[in-house]
Amino acid sequence: MTVETGSTVPRRQAGRLMRQLRERAGMSLMAAAVELEFSRARMYRIENGEVSLRKHDVLAMCSVYGAPDEIAEVLVGLARESKSKGWWHAYGDVVPGWFELYVGMETAAERLRHYAPSVIPGLLQNREYAESVFRRRTDLDEAGVRNAVAVRLERQSLLRRVSPAPPRLDVIVDEGVLHRTIADTLGMQKQLAHLVNISQRPGVNVRVVPFSAGPHRASSAGSFTILDFPTLTAAAPEPTTIYCENLTGALYLDKPHEVETYGGIWSELEQVALDRRASDDLIGTIIKESDG
């Protein structure tokens, strides 16, 4: 029996995306194999996620299929991640730009649903809050903190993107996150005001689970993001993927029962969370209390 190596989810995602690009280009598997000077068997294994991709193969295939630059970037990131063992993705001190797996997936997503039980999500952090978060890390010196903050703020340009349209962003935060202040009181007030302001933007929705909701199904789930992707072709849609991050890496889940479980948790969160107006009012109240 062949021992399976490499990261399964990125391999399958890269393979599906390659197949979608080939079909969109109107090429048969055999025609693509001839153009790329690959064997038909190798093309089949690539598209079925059975083998890892090399960067130069990705670039060659994207060139033949006429793939947009942003899709090529995502695929390069997937190719790199596909060489890691298992599901876990170990981060360096700083996310190295748009080629890291999650950032590439985030860029390609059509909708992001994020549950934050302990900290404001990175896409919604202001500079002061992000600096406070990264200064808690003992492995980063001052230059490392600056670089990490710069990468985090750069990621947020995703929400201001014009073409293609930015992903829809739905965020549900626990009320405790809003009370867990940073040393910079003014910076924290600005952070809370930013949550209210950005929630007014089309396609962005920030809601709060109040303390009064009590224990709920997501209480033991921890932070997670549900990524939904656009369909390049109806025949092979990119699967919804669950992203869970911890101190030393990240887990990517896309099995149907896993997606169904987290989808159910999200539905319950929507039921116990305040609506957007009530969430804005609660955040406004916390800002006033912190000013006193």
* Tokens linked to 143: 């230059």
Report if residue 221 sits inside a domain. yes
Q: How many CB atoms lie within 10 A of CB 186?
A: 10
Instruction: Give the domain-ending residue among 81, 109, 134.
Output: 81
Which residue, among 236, 248, 232, has the nearest Cα to 87 in the 3D structure? 248
Instruction: Give the domain-ending residue among 26, 54, 81.
Output: 81
* Segment 77-126, tens digit of pLDDT: 888 777 654 322 333 445 533 335 677 678 778 999 999 999 999 999 99
Number of domains in the chain: 2
CATH code (residue 192): 3.30.870
* Segment 147-168, tens digit of pLDDT: 888 888 888 988 998 877 899 9
* Segment 194-229, tens digit of pLDDT: 999 999 999 999 999 999 998 888 888 889 999 998
Amino acid at 279: S
Instruction: Give the domain-ending residue among 81, 112, 136.
Output: 81
- Domain range enclosing 151: 97-291
Domain match, 14 and 120 both: no
Domain match, 156 and 59 both: no
The verdict on pTM exceeding 0.85 is no
Domain match, 155 and 31 both: no
- My answer on whether omega of the bond before 166 falls inside 30° of 0, hence cis, is no
Report if residue 64 sits inside a domain. yes
Give the Cα separation of 133 and 116 in Å (integer): 14
CATH code (residue 12): 1.10.260.40
Domain match, 282 and 159 both: yes
What pLDDT was estimated at residue 117? 93
Residues 6+ apart with CB under 8 A from 11: 49, 50, 51, 52, 53, 78, 82
